[in-house]
Structure 1
Amino acid sequence: MRSLLLAIFVMMAGSGFMATLVSLRLEGAGYPPFAIGLAGAAYFAGLTGGSLTVGRIIRQVGHIRAFAAFVALLSASTLAYAVHQHIVLWSGLRFADGLCVAGVYVCLESWLGDRSEPRTRGAVLAGYMVALYAGQGLGQFLLNVSDEKPSMPFIVASMLMSLSILPITLTRSSSPALGEDQPLPVRRLYTISPLGVVGAAVTGVMLGAFYALGAVFIRRLGGDVSSAALFMSAVIFGGVALQLPLGRLSDRFDRRRVIVGVFAAAVAASAAIALTPAPGLPLLAFGALFGGLTFALYPLCVAHANDHVTPDQRVGASGGLVLVYSAGAAVGPLAGATTMTFTGAGGLFLFIAVCATAAVAFALWRLAARGSPPQERQRAWIVLPRTTPMSATLDPLAAEARDARRKRRLGVTAPWRKR
């Protein structure tokens, strides 16, 4: 289990800052915001497409071979950025990066879900989230290695990605069989939980725009590469800090009202960032607050949707919401870049504030249209990664329901029914 967590930490340290690096290099080369947004959108399009297709490859060759292949291709594409800089080439590479990262996520998340027992799945999920975000946040500081040699960040990133293969290929643990769980169709999911679907999609738009253009925003305020790295890491680590308190708050009160409050607070935080004139401590504080609020929105939307589904639907619902989030994240960079083109650097966070405002209006309508579920039906909140539909297998309650369903299908009596 530790080898899997070490692999995701090392890989995220190498790949987690690539979105920031690509955006900064394209901005420095004089490309307009829309072109930079196109490269960001290409990554999320590849991530979405890969989430739906890589399972077939993993079933054919196994987790270890598939993981090594995906990481090898990702490492090669990372070095290819240093060969020639052109928006078409780099957008194609970002699409390939998304496909490969989706393959890595599916391999690791299905492996972790299979190897963990119901009583340990919560701890495994927590460890996975720590490794994921710690690698991504710390990796931002590798942007600072480019002072003397422009290709150095790509080389360091490729080295780290290649090293992440070692814990997997040298593990003595056998790889599991990949399950056949399918996400719920979006139309059916919307019928079950309109706010869950719309909230996840809007969150994807907001964070997709941020990841693609956040560093460009700092540069256009007059900040250097170090300032961009510090801001991006502040948002990521701030996102980790507030998820648990907000999640616990949603367990005690009507979850929809908490979602409304978090979206409304995100409006204020985004507006504060947009109105801050220069990099500095105030911007870092607002960025950390923005990350804490926006990173909490996706698991809150998943928990709200799961308040309205049956136990057998939880894996499919969570998987469907990941795809909805990813689709929104593919749209966000293009829409955010268009706003920046006409309104300047602050337009990025003004656009994010408008998206959050629209989500508040929709959530208020849903509050008036349907009553809240009884407190006993509101399941416990749990943080989930926004990676691929396979991340739903790490949810302890959803995975337990899935395992029970498979046992019933195979005619195996559940232990609690033997008594």
Structure 2
Amino acid sequence: MFSAVRPVRSLLIAIFILMAGGGFISTLVSVRLETAGASALLIGLVGSTYFVGLTLGSLQAATVIRRVGHIRAFASFVSLLSASTLAYGLYQASGFWAALRLIDGFCIAGVYVCLESWLNDRADPAARGSVLGAYMIALYAGQGLGQYLLTISGANPTWPFVMASILLSLAVLPVTLTRASSPVLGDYQALSMRRLYVASPLGMVGAVLAGVALGAFYGLGAVHAQRIGLDLPATAAFMSAVILGGVTLQWPLGWLSDRFDRRMVILAVFAAVTGVAIGITLLGSPGTALLLLGGIFGGLSFALYPLCVAHTNDRLTSAERVGASAGLVLVYSAGAAAGPLAGAASMSALGPAGLFLFIAACAAAATGFGLWRLAARPSPPGELQQSYQALPHTTPMSAGLDPLTEDRS
């Protein structure tokens, strides 16, 4: 694996530093708004704007990259992201912060498109799986460890924003100083929504509901933690446990889905998410058990999107798979944009428990839909199932790192 990632190590270092600096801003914004007395609905609205920006960036960032090149585009996206991060410390108002979150989402999507398309170009075809695995580890490790920057506020509430901006600025260096040539950006056309649904109703609906659930968690998970009595260090530990747990179960669950009926594995994971979310609701108190359940929740829920992609690929030709992954990223992002608002409505009605009850309801709905699909259409024969590949839910460009999508004819 080390020999496979050596040609792209500067890109992996960049995404790790960038996510360490920018990956905790969502948590920090939610905590600050909660401390200021904002309602769950208002916090959810601010959280939703990030995913709206992420969706817009996924669609538009390629135009910027084609115009100025990867390095200049990357530097521009990160510079704007660093500036918007510092701007949080200037003025705290929900409308202003919502606009900043929209900018953040657009810039993060631009960064993902830059790095993922570059990784696609630099990765040896035989090593795509190793490169993708290293990319996901760097991304989620940076995001998970970055949560602990929440605790550095001290006497100055702007310090976390300043530290985040410093790290974001440093993330530019490995890319701008690289001697590797910039790639030519490929064109990834998303499959139509109708074709996606016809090919795999469970894949499409599962991706949407996974996006709704995880969007609600990212937007309001820290608010839930604060409202059940966790202090700032404990909130950071809980958020980190979920994110780092998201890496741990993807490969074991993928291994199972390659050897058994993939739809049954997806249903089992959705059902398990339902149970774990209810368990977190019933626990409702700080402690080691909450961290453990949070890690299990992350491991299960983060695996849902790549499982849905793999199931959809089972019913498509190789030429359609990149477009299908691109389409699934977009429907996932649309679900994630709706998640914080819907989760906030549940919290407003039911209190802190409302967040994970809402997530449990989403997972239960997906389980029910999957049971109906099992009865409506038989699963493909085991020998026709494609190999599972863990994928981040970032942008359509990540699909190009899946070895199964290499044939784009």
TM-score by length of 1: 0.95
Question: Quick one: distance in 1 between partners of 2:270 and 2:158?
Answer: 39
Q: Which residue of 1 aligns with 2:402?
A: 395
Q: Which residue of 1 aligns with 2:206?
A: 199
1:227 has 2:214 as partner: no
Question: Quick one: distance in 1 between partners of 2:315 and 2:268?
Answer: 20
Q: Please give the per-residue CA displacement for 1:228-248, whole angstroms capped at 9, x wherever unaligned.
A: 100001111111111111110
Question: Quick one: distance in 1 between partners of 2:246 and 2:54?
Answer: 21
Shift of 1:102: 0.4
Q: Which amino acid aligns with 2:214?
A: L
1:184 is paired with a residue of what secondary structure? coil
1:20 is paired with a residue of what secondary structure? helix
Q: Which amino acid aligns with 1:389?
A: P
Question: Quick one: distance in 1 between partners of 2:386 and 2:60?
Answer: 31
Q: Which residue of 1 aligns with 2:274?
A: 267
Shift of 1:223: 1.0
Structure 1 stretch displaced more, 200-209 or 281-290:
281-290
Gaps of 5+ in 1: 406-419
Matches within 5 A, 1:131-280: 131-280=138-287
How many positions carry a matched residue from both structures? Answer: 402
Shift of 1:187: 1.6
Gaps of 5+ in 2: 1-7
Shift of 1:99: 0.3
Q: Please give the per-residue CA displacement for 1:381-414, whole angstroms capped at 9, x wherever unaligned.
A: 010010011111111110x212xx2xxxxxxxxx
Shift of 1:376: 1.3
Question: Quick one: distance in 2 between partners of 1:397 and 1:197?
Answer: 19
Shift of 1:375: 1.1
Matches within 5 A, 1:15-414: 15-398=22-405, 400-402=406-408, 405=409
Question: Quick one: distance in 2 between partners of 1:65 and 1:264?
Answer: 45
TM-score by length of 2: 0.98
Shift of 1:197: 0.3
Shift of 1:147: 2.1
Q: Which amino acid aligns with 2:192?
A: P
Q: Please give the per-residue CA displacement for 1:113-141, whole angstroms capped at 9, x wherever unaligned.
A: 01112101111111101100110000000
Question: Quick one: distance in 2 between partners of 1:277 and 1:127?
Answer: 35
1:371 is paired with a residue of what secondary structure? coil
Shift of 1:365: 0.4
Give the alignment's Cα RMSD to 1 decimal: 0.6
2:271 is paired with a residue of what secondary structure? helix
Stretches of 4+ aligned residues off by more than 4 angstroms = none
Question: Quick one: distance in 2 between partners of 1:369 and 1:277?
Answer: 39
1:174 is paired with a residue of what secondary structure? coil
Q: Which amino acid aligns with 1:315?
A: V
1:279 is paired with a residue of what secondary structure? coil
Shift of 1:277: 2.7
Shift of 1:84: 0.2
Question: Quick one: distance in 2 between partners of 1:257 and 1:147?
Answer: 49
